[in-house]
Amino acid sequence: MPKVVSRSAVSSSTNAQLTASSAAALCVYYCICGEFILVIDKNLNALPRRHSDKATIVRCQDSESAAARVFKLNAAEGESVLIERNGGHERQYRFSCPRCTLPVCYQSTPPPAKSGPFLYILAGALSQTQGALPQGALDDD
């Protein structure tokens, strides 16, 4: 006996679920001072981190193997700094909170944001709860 599947019913319920889950999956992040900084389509805890400074890696541009994350950043262009790392040097173009000017993320290319392949969110800089201390904010490293 062939199994009878109503294709139209299946596809319409799938579409409804997709819409609901993509709206629910948006994550909003705030600075320590309470300023809105970032809305993104994935929880930062689920994204990879750099080994060197534990910064969260957000992909800004599509590659052959991975799609860019969808996000909106509310941050001011800050200074560029040269970091010494493993005998080499790394240029970081920083972005800071528009209200309290704490640095929140950086990238390896000059502004605007998303001009490079990745954006790096500083460890402990952002919280999902407005006005709460971010997880890891008091870590030493």
Q: What is the largest CA-CA distance in the chain?
A: 69
Q: In the bound complex, what is the minimum distance in angstroms from residue 105's beta carbon to Zn ion? A: 12
Q: In the bound complex, what is the minimum distance in angstroms from residue 16's beta carbon to Zn ion? A: 38
Per the CB < 8 A criterion, the answer to whether 75 and 50 are in contact is no
> Is the Cβ of residue 35 or residue 90 nearer to Zn ion in the bound state?
35
Per the CB < 8 A criterion, the answer to whether 33 and 100 are in contact is yes
Q: How far apart are CA 1 and CA 23, in angstroms?
A: 40
Q: In the bound complex, what is the minimum distance in angstroms from residue 29's beta carbon to Zn ion? A: 11
3-state secondary structure of 70: coil
Q: In the bound complex, what is the minimum distance in angstroms from residue 120's beta carbon to Zn ion? A: 18
> Is the Cβ of residue 97 or residue 123 nearer to Zn ion in the bound state?
97
**Torsion sign (Cα): 93, 124, 88, 108:** negative
> Is the Cβ of residue 49 or residue 99 nearer to Zn ion in the bound state?
99
The 10 Å Cβ neighbour count of residue 111 is 15
Enumerate binding residues for Zn ion (CB under 5 A). Answer: 31, 33, 35, 97, 99-100
> Is the Cβ of residue 47 or residue 76 nearer to Zn ion in the bound state?
76
